[in-house]
Amino acid sequence: MPALVIFIIFSFSFYVYYKIRYVRARRPIERQFFSAKSSMALGLFVALFGINQLFLYSTTVTYIVSAIFIALGFGSVWAGYRAYRHYLPQAVKEAEEAAKQG
């Protein structure tokens, strides 16, 4: 499935992008915000990789490993989304305070 491979590459690219933003961020809440976004991107990468394996191979081991990848991936997306929602208002407030200070 070429479309699935494209989504896998995009999700990994977003993971790398947000990790770079995480390392370069100076404010603590902003760092947590980018960490949550990178967690969602990595979780999507793992889940899509598991789904892709279902199309490539059809063995019992593949089904078990793919199910684990899909569960871990979507669990990471869910946890990252919850963290994202938690840190978003704090990150906005922190950015506004930093803009006022100079």
Q: What is the pTM of this model?
A: 0.88
Instruction: Give the whole-angstrom CA distance, residue 17 versus residue 61.
Output: 33
Break the chain into its structural domains and give their ranges.
Answer: 2-101
User: What average pLDDT score do residues 53-66 get?
Assistant: 92
The pLDDT of residue 2 is 83
Question: Under 8 Å CB-to-CB from 5, ≥6 apart: which residues?
Answer: 52
Find the mean pLDDT for residues 54-62: 90
- Return the percentage of the chain with pLDDT > 90, whole number: 83
